[in-house]
Structure 1
Amino acid sequence: MASNEKVIIIGAGVSGLVLAQILRQGGVPYEVYDRDDGTHWQGWAISLDKCLQSLYPLLPPDIQDPAQASPNYHSSKPDGFWVVNAVTHESLGVTENAPRGHPDNMIHANRDHFRKIFMQNVKVQFGKTFQKYEESGDGSLDVFFTDGTSTKGTVLVGSDGSSSKVRQQLLNGFKAAPSRYTSILGSVTVDIDLSAKLLGESNSGLLVADKDQKANCLVLDHNKDGTDLFCWVLAYKVAEYEKEHMWARMASPEELFEKAKERTAHWPDFMRETVKRTGPEGMYRPFRLLETVLEKDELPRGRVTLLGDAMHSMLPFRGMGANTGISGACLLGKSLLDGLKQDTSVDDILRAYEREWIPKSREVVLESRAAGAGDENADLSGGRIENGGP
């Protein structure tokens, strides 16, 4: 790989931005494009832990520590969750709350806060919707956008989410499979008493497991007036899941609110109260949960590859989506930097990355699916629980 070869990244989610930061630190030319206008709320919370040991050594020193995204950063409280059986209301344990800087440390934060940190000193060209790419015989490729503009590079990375347009062209129309789960989500500001019940023995919130539905309720921000902003996502499945999903897409905020109250009527009182206080005004438009399982361990050879949800979108039941995406960005970024030093061909770099990361990420997708198919004792912690019982 030559030092003047440019990497085109489609999608400015956390995985694409992390890759851009790694390339920037290594002096590899890159461009980042995103279809949104830059004001779209990415929302909700994600947690990083499994990826941190790979991430930190590759980040440039001129951006903030990602740990600063956590609402608990200034209190020095370690992030972590507790897991509750929704039927018995029993605590199943608390995730490892390792101190900051420890190898097992977890960073939990609003996705937007992470993106703002990873976007520092990275120019993102917003409002650019990918249309197609064309590879040339000279080893370059042209990327075209729906507004009539184009750019030229030598590597194209599709980091454009579970409905990736790059993947659709690369794999001849491949689409992610819709999950049987329907999602309902909301956000609510609560007082210190209810917040304490939601946090339990943790500092970040809780995961709730039932036979046919799972939920998380996670803190996004600690407000100056002593209240806390929480987001919650309820995912449930019914026999006629396609019909249910269509209903959720068309339902009014009032209807979604009533459905959430109905589905959680037997849950612990603090969860019922949280949903009740959300009200119709706190409800958001549901999103479709999609799974991407690539069957082959290598993509069609060329100068195009995939990253993040474009390669491995999964059910959000084990907290591994962002961790897997960022770990993949670290592997791909380091592979490109090493390839530059060793003058390795782009084909060999991408082939090695895919042969390692497609099977690894596919396994994580299937593990998350298994957690969703499990009963109320399913391991929603992703193997992070350190002790059981209250």
Structure 2
Amino acid sequence: MPDFRVVVIGAGLGGLALAQGLRQAGVEVAVYERDAALTSRRQGYRLHLDSEAHDCLLRLLPSHLGKLFLATAGMPDPRFVLLDEQLNQVMSQHSGQTTDFAVDRLVLRQILLSGIEDAVVFGKQFRGYETGSDGRVTAHFADGSQTGGDVLVAADGVNSVVRKQYLPHARVVDTGVRQIYGTIPLTQHTRALFDDTMFGIFTAVAGRERTFLGIAPVEFPEPPQDAAARLAPGTRLPPTSDYMTCSFGARREWFGDNLSTMSGPDLHEIMSEGVRGWHARVREIVAHCDPATMFAFPLRTSVPISPWPATPITLVGDAIHAMSPAAGAGACTALRDADRLTSALTAVKTGAHNLVDAIRDYESDMTDHGFTMVRTAAANGQRFLGQDPLPGQPS
């Protein structure tokens, strides 16, 4: 298919990674993102990537950007640790991976955008699509413009507009848990607040009333801007330094008020109140969480669905299998999707595979893996975070 074109809705991790992979394979790709820029919304800080996600990224990125990713990815101790509110160890579990990585979300997104800026259009709000008699798909935008392609990929996240039209029966539900996120700069003083057990992939401190505090490090092998200047001079990375993520979560009934409208200082006050009576070091950790970095949102999850007939429309990442963070697998699964879909669409471009058959094979693998991780994350979240059971699963 010499004029094969892929239209991607959404410039999150999955959408940008897919675009990088397709660009490397010589497939024409265009990405449309509703936000005005990568930095328009706070979407989180640290991401956990496992060995498979690492391998996917190195296949999808050109060599110099793969090296930049490695130069900006920390390698925490491969353990998940659970402590009680007085910092007594309750559980310690090895991740089971050969290597785990802790990366900054914005740094990774900037790396994924590098070199494909000409293929990404910001400020384009997707409204819907239609499929023509020739099988091509036309995407329509809020400003009245439209674009066509042989494939339309939903990479527009948990609130996917594409999914709502294409798979209206696919549900995303509230888990019943709310979480406040912030960061603590790792200085000589603040590092002393964290012992060695807290520098693993993730450390959870469980309190009463199903409250919990989560902490996890982001430590750069070298400053991201220095790494970019050395390895990819055209890539602009944010001026960030080592930090510890700090999150506080509880059931929605515990919070009561609408967290989404609260200021950073108000959220910091809630977090501080939540750990009152906990170990003095926990209270000190929370005291150092920067209110300017704090935001809150509800934890949501997709509900697995049965397979659907393959068409030139498909999905990646949270657009189809959003999950609780309790498995640390959301970003990993999105990158896995991008890698598998890149291979499938490259085979179509070269004539080695029929389009619908290629998408069917991709979706079979994607849903098997993605929905398995949704169920795993839901079970972990029910056990450790107090979230609601996944609909249709044992309570």
TM over 0.5: yes
| Aligned counterpart, 2:234 | none
Select which of 363, 366, 374 maps to 2:375. Answer: 366
Other-structure match for 2:390:
none
> 1:246, 1:185 → 2: CA distance?
16
Which of 211, 215, 223 in structure 2 is aligned with 1:213? 211
The structure 1 residue matched to 2:87, chosen from 79, 86, 89, is 89
Distance 1:48 1:297 in 2: 27
Quick check: 2:76–2:201 contact (8 Å CA) kept in 1?
no
State the one-letter code of the partner of 2:140: F
- For residue 342 of structure 1, report the CA deviation from its aligned partner: 4.4
Q: Which of these residues, 228, 239, 262, is aligned with residue 251 of structure 1?
A: 262
Q: 1:338 aligns to what? A: 347
Specify the code of the residue in structure 2 equivalent to 1:337: T
Amino acid at match of 2:287: K
Equivalents in 2 of 1:18, 1:8: separation in Å? 13
Aligned to 1:13: 12
Equivalent of 1:67 in 49, 66, 70? 70
Q: Using a 3 Å threshold, how does the CA distance of structure 1 residues 359 and 214 change in structure 2: closer, same or farther?
A: farther
Q: Distance in 2 between matches of 1:20 and 1:135?
A: 22
Letter in 1 for 2:108: F
Q: Distance in 2 between matches of 1:116 and 1:42?
A: 14
User: Amino acid of the residue matched to residue 243 of structure 2?
Assistant: L
Deviations along 1:305-327, one digit per CA (max 9) or x if unpaired, are 11000111111112100001111
Secondary structure of 1:131's counterpart equals strand
Retained in 2: the 8 A contact 1:182–1:235? yes
1:20 is displaced (CA, Å) by: 0.8
Give the Cα separation in 1 of the matches to 2:385 and 2:162.
Answer: 37
1:137, distance to aligned residue in structure 2 (A): 1.0
CA contact (8 A) 1:131 1:145 kept: yes
2:233 aligned with 1:237, yes or no? no
In structure 2, C-alpha distance between the alignment counterparts of 1:8 and 1:199, rounded to whole Å: 47
CA contact (8 A) 1:209 1:377 kept: no
Shift of 1:118: 1.2
Matched, 1:32 2:14: no
Post-superposition CA distance 1:103-162 (Å, at most 9, x none): 722221110011111111112111111111110111211111111111110101000010
2:18–2:60 contact (8 Å) kept in structure 1? no
2:303: which partner in 1? 293
For 2:312, the equivalent position in structure 1 comes to 303
In 2, Cα distance between the equivalents of 1:365 and 1:64? 28
**Corresponding position: 1:312 with 2:315:** no
The 3 A distance-change label for structure 1 pair 82 and 199 is farther
- Percentage identity across aligned positions? 27
Aligned to 1:151: 147
- 2:103 maps to a residue whose letter is A
Q: Is the 8 A contact 1:293 1:311 kept in 2?
A: no
Cα separation, 2, equivalents of 1:193 and 1:62: 35
Q: Is the 8 A contact 1:163 1:175 kept in 2?
A: no
Question: Secondary structure of the residue that 2:296 maps to in structure 1?
Answer: coil
Separation in 2, partners of 1:165, 1:245: 29
Contact 1:108-1:204 at 8 Å conserved across structures:
no
What is the alpha-carbon distance in structure 2 between the residues aligned to residue 199 and residue 46 of structure 1? 21
Tell me, what secondary structure is at the counterpart of 1:18? helix
Q: 2:265–2:292: 8 Å Cα contact kept in structure 1? A: no
Unpaired runs of 5+ in structure 1?
98-102, 379-390
Of 327-336 and 172-181, deviating more is: 172-181
Mapped partners of 1:173, 1:96: distance in 2: 34
TM-score of the two chains, using structure 2 as the length reference: 0.82
- Mapped to 1, the partners of 2:13 and 2:66 lie a distance apart of 15
Corresponding residue for residue 51 of structure 1: 53
Question: Residues 78-157 of structure 1 correspond to what in structure 2 (within 5 A)?
Answer: 80=78, 83-87=81-85, 89-91=87-89, 92-93=91-92, 95=94, 104-123=98-117, 124-157=120-153
Is 161-170 or 287-296 further displaced after alignment?
Answer: 287-296
What secondary structure sits across from 1:361 in the alignment?
helix
Cα shift at 1:373? 1.2
Q: How many equivalent pairs are there?
A: 360
SS in 2 for 1:19: helix
CA shift, 1:259, in A, is 1.9
Contact 1:86-1:266 at 8 Å conserved across structures: no
Name the amino acid aligned to 2:273.
E
CA distance in 1, matches of 2:140, 2:195: 47
- Please state whether the residue corresponding to 1:287 is helix, strand or coil: strand
Instruction: For 2:203, give the aligned amino acid.
Output: L
User: Match of 2:58, as an amino acid?
Assistant: Y
Which amino acid in 1 is paired with 2:48? S
Alignment partner, residue 177 of structure 2: 181
Superposition deviation, residue 180 in structure 1: 0.6
TM-score by length of 1: 0.83
Distance 1:246 1:173 in 2: 30
- State how far apart, in whole Å, the 2-side matches of 1:341 and 1:22 are: 15
Q: Superposition RMSD on alpha carbons, in Å?
A: 2.8
Q: Deviations over 1:264-301 (max 9, x none)?
A: 2344433321211236x335231222111231123x43
Equivalent in the alignment of 1:386? none
Structure 1 segments (4+ residues) deviating >6 Å: none
